[in-house]
A and B are shown apart, each in its own frame.
Chain A
Amino acid sequence: MEIKKISDYIWEIPATEKEGMRVPARIYATEKLLHEMDSGVFEQITNVACLPGIQKYAYCMPDGHQGYGFPIGGVAAFSKEDGVISPGGIGFDINCGMRLIRTDLTVSEVLPRIRELVDLLFKTVPAGVGSKGLMKLSVEELKQVMIRGVDWCIESGFGWERDRERIEENGRISGADPSKVSEKAISRGISQLGTLGSGNHYLEVQIATPENIFDKSMAKALGIFENQAVIMVHCGSRGFGHQVGSDYLRIFDTAMKKYGIVVRDRELACAPFNSPEGQDYFKAMKCAANMAFANRQVIVHRLREVFSEVFRREPEDMGMDIVYDVAHNIAKIETHEVDGVEKELVVHRKGSTRCFGPGRAELPEIYRKTGQPVIIGGSMETGSYLLVGTEKAMSETFGSTMHGSGRTMSRAAAKKKVTGSEIKKKMEEEGIIVKSTSMTGLAEEAGFAYKNISEVVDTMEMAGVSRKVVRLKPIGNIKG
């Protein structure tokens, strides 16, 4: 496959590479990361470049690796008028995302209590295969969650008024329609609000050590200070969103014939955005996205309670505000410039984070000047990052950057190299207390199964798309 070097951090596969490519594919990576990418990435991103109505480029971020349909780390924007929407470009875990919560607590206050914190968090935030939340909603309540997301949570006592503006889309995407969601999705998700799930999902207590703060004034603007303890949550819409994705994949698989769309991978099943199927999926996807915002909100409410119990102080008194909440598996209508003209686009991000630069109307007043906070989750061993978006992101990547470090080794291979108890012991030696419902799950998430997160984050920094603010080091981790 011909890969042209555009700059030290951008690589391009021309549209002549594969029959049916409508635009070139662009991969953000250092030369080293590019060479380490599996061949599936190149195959998959050029398949995406074939989809009807795609604009400018099919992008893959530096954390890219082969997924199903789209590569993980994929970004594609389609014309709202004559483009498509594809559940495979969003992922089954609709609005899987990251949330960062700050505290006024320092490492010296939190470290002596970390085992107690991890134990109580593990009891309070259900995790693991098929886990149920601590409350069961009625169908009507779940429909309210679908329509109103975090608004429902705040009105029900699971959060603060000011939480809202610190969440992408204010935690509520308008236009969600529960009538487009199956009964199966409802019965699958009705008991799961406030649960973490499994795989790479986690809840982590982290610290901001002085040497890891790259931009002090920006850190201050985002509420971060030296030796501070923060909490990061990574999870999505649980079985509810997974079922919405599965239901519509089946519907689109059939509908494609009707619309005469042929795709190179069945998982790229799509429908015209303006078709009945496309609109129904978009309305159902919004239900799942709102459920995911609400899921992370209930988890934050629970962890505020846990911190309050352990430190015997009110969460407000400990400054436990949300820094920000980002979605990294979603499609959204956004306005971007294409060939000098502002156009409304259906932007798909699958394992990619929105990273809008300063001044964008979508950003809340508190972050209008800084640019959007971007939360990048690393492996449980290696740490995570808080970044901000830039103006260059707007002109180059439809305001998108990576979502994590990206796997390099399969789950099956990781399990052969190490056991869960070995990882647990090693992490404790490194000062990270971990608690999981699954020891094999721990082995699958070993740090060596992932790319070097700093290399990935530095790529987008050097490319000018997102800017580093702070690297966060884990000290306690809850996993499913």
Chain B
Amino acid sequence: MPYRYLEDIATSDAAFEAEGRTLEELFRDAAVATSEVMVDTKSVEPRITREIELRDETVDGLFFDWLSELVYLKDAESLLFSIFDVNIRENGGYELRAKVSGENINQEKHGLRADVKAVTYHMFEVKKTGENWTARVILDI
């Protein structure tokens, strides 16, 4: 289960849970889940690549900033992404280096869905459960 949307906890927004064997998998799958709220990612070709570098003391802070960065690029650079290559290093805190690929928003071409306004802290959770990392996120629509 890379991710699944939750129907009952966010009436006017979008909620999902994601799970990965590694932090990289978790971050990648949550990025796909966030992007899929906005667009059918199958319609987004990897024509433009952006490098994202983030650092935070906590893993949940890094995760919040990572998803927020994708929401930011959607407005600031009119970019939606479909491919996420994520590397995370523990180094006192957490460091993320990612290459994300996608293209400029095109209403004719892309199967557009709902505009994500923000990542919220409501019921926000990132944790390691047994072998896997899991996260729960509510996105403001």
**A→B interface (CB under 8 Å):** 38, 40, 65-69, 72, 88, 91-93, 128-132, 184, 187-189, 191-192, 197-200, 238-239, 242-243, 245-246, 249-250, 253, 265-267, 269, 407-413, 437-438, 440-441, 444, 480
Question: Is the Cβ of B11 less than 8 Å from the Cβ of A68?
Answer: no
Q: Is B127 an interface residue (CB 8 A)?
A: no
B26 near A: Cβ within 8 Å?
Answer: no
A411/B124 in contact, CB under 8 A: no
Most buried by A among B6, B80, B141: B141
Instruction: Identify which of residues 55-112 in chain B touch chain A, using a CB-to-CB cut-off of 8 Å.
Output: 61, 64-65, 68, 71-72, 74-76, 78, 80, 105, 107, 111-112
CA distance A69 to B120 in the complex (A): 9
Assuming the contacts A198-B115, A239-B76, asked whether A409 and B39 have C-beta atoms less than 8 A apart, the reply is no
> What residues of chain B lie closer than 8 Å to A69, measured between beta carbons?
120-122
Given A128-B107, A128-B115, the answer on whether A250 and B78 have CB atoms closer than 8 Å is: no
Distance A87 CA – B70 CA, assembled complex (angstroms): 21
Q: Nearest A residue to B7 by beta-carbon distance?
A: A412
Whether the pair A249, B115 counts as a contact (CB closer than 8 A) is no
Contacts of A91 in B (CB 8 A): 140
Cβ-defined partner of A411 (8 Å) among B14, B76, B123: B14
Query: Knowing A72-B12, A200-B12, A265-B122 touch, does A411 contact B74 (C-beta < 8 A)?
Result: no
Contact B113 A65 (CB under 8 A): no
Q: Which chain B residues (14-49) contact chain A, with CB distance < 8 Å? A: 14, 38-39
Give the A-B contact count at a CB cut-off of 8 A.
146
Extra contacts, 11 of them, besides A66-B11, A267-B122 (Cβ < 8 A), are A88-B120, A91-B140, A184-B72, A191-B78, A239-B117, A242-B71, A242-B118, A246-B118, A266-B121, A410-B10, A410-B12
Q: A69-B122, A129-B115, A267-B122 are in contact. Are A410 and B8 (CB under 8 A)?
A: yes
The CA-CA distance from A88 to B71 in the complex, in Å, is 18
Contact across chains for B113 and A440 when beta carbons are under 8 A apart: yes
Check if B107 sits within 8 Å of A250, measured CB to CB.
no
Which residue of B64, B74, B117 contacts A250 across the interface (Cβ within 8 Å)?
B64
- Chain A residue numbers with a CB within 8 Å of B138 are 68
Cα A68 to Cα B18 with chains together (Å): 19
> Are A245 and B118 interface neighbours, CB within 8 A?
yes
Most central of A66, A130, A437 by chain B CB within 10 Å? A130
Using A242-B117, A267-B122, A437-B107 as known contacts, say yes or no to A65 and B11 having CB atoms under 8 A apart.
yes
Instruction: Let me know if A67 and B113 touch, CB within 8 A.
Output: no
CB of B134 to closest CB in A, whole Å: 17
A440: which B residues are within 8 A, CB to CB? 111, 113-114
Cβ contacts under 8 Å, B8 to chain A: 410
Q: Which residues of A contact B80 (CB under 8 A)?
A: 129-130
Could you tell me which B residues sit within 8 Å of A by CB distance? 5-14, 38-39, 61, 64-65, 68, 71-72, 74-76, 78, 80, 105, 107, 111-115, 117-124, 138, 140-141
**A199 to chain B: closest residue by CB:** B141
Considering the complex, give the chain B residue whose CB is closest to the CB of A249. Answer: B121
Q: Which residues of B contact A92 (CB under 8 A)?
A: 117-118, 120, 140
Contacts of B65 in A (CB 8 A): 250
A265 to B75 alpha-carbon distance, docked (Å): 28
Query: A128 touching B64 by the CB < 8 A rule?
Result: no
Q: Which B residues lie within 8 Å of A437 (CB)?
A: 107, 112
Complex alpha-carbon distance, A412 and B5, angstroms: 8
Q: Indicate if the CB atoms of B76 and A441 lie closer than 8 Å.
A: no
Instruction: Decide if B113 touches A129 in the complex (CB within 8 Å).
Output: yes
Decide if A67 touches B12 in the complex (CB within 8 Å).
Answer: yes
Residues in B whose Cβ lies below 8 Å from that of A409? 11
- The reply to whether B13 and A67 form a contact with Cβ atoms under 8 Å apart is yes
Q: How far is the CA of A198 from the CA of B80 in the complex (A)?
A: 16
Pairwise interchain contact B10-A66, C-beta atoms closer than 8 A? yes
Chain B hits for A189, CB < 8 A? 75
CA distance A252 to B93 in the complex (A): 20
Shortest CB distance B112–A (Å): 5
Please tell me if the beta carbons of B140 and A238 are within 8 angstroms of each other in the complex.
Answer: no
Contact A40 B9 (CB under 8 A): yes
A407 to chain B, nearest CB (A): 5
Q: How far apart sit A266 and B115, CA to CA, in the bound complex (Å)?
A: 23
Tell me if A407 and B117 are in contact (CB < 8 A).
no
Q: Let me know if B119 and A129 touch, CB within 8 A.
A: no
A–B complex contacts, Cβ < 8 Å, 28 sampled: A65-B11, A66-B9, A66-B11, A68-B121, A129-B112, A129-B114, A130-B75, A130-B78, A130-B80, A132-B78, A199-B12, A199-B117, A199-B141, A239-B72, A242-B75, A246-B71, A250-B61, A250-B64, A250-B65, A265-B121, A265-B123, A407-B12, A410-B7, A410-B8, A410-B12, A412-B5, A438-B112, A444-B114
In the complex, chain A residues whose CB is within 8 Å of the CB of B5: 412
With beta carbons under 8 angstroms apart, the residue of B7, B72, B123 that contacts A188 is: B72
Q: Which 6 A-B pairs have the closest CB atoms?
A: A68-B122, A239-B75, A198-B115, A266-B121, A267-B122, A92-B118
Q: Is the CB of B120 within 8 A of A68?
A: yes
A86 to chain B, nearest CB (A): 11
Interface contact B75-A238, CB-CB below 8 Å? yes
Contact of A266 among B105, B122, B140 (CB under 8 A): B122
Closest to B68 in A: A246
**Chain A residues in 8 Å Cβ range of B118:** 92, 242, 245-246, 249
Cα of A355 to Cα of B115 in the assembled complex, Å: 29
Note all chain A residues with C-beta closer than 8 A to B112: 128-129, 198, 437-438, 441
Compute how far the CA of A410 lies from the CA of B13 in the bound complex, rounded to whole angstroms. Answer: 7
Measured between C-beta atoms, what is the minimum distance from A316 to chain B in Å?
33
Nearest CB on B from A441, distance (A): 6
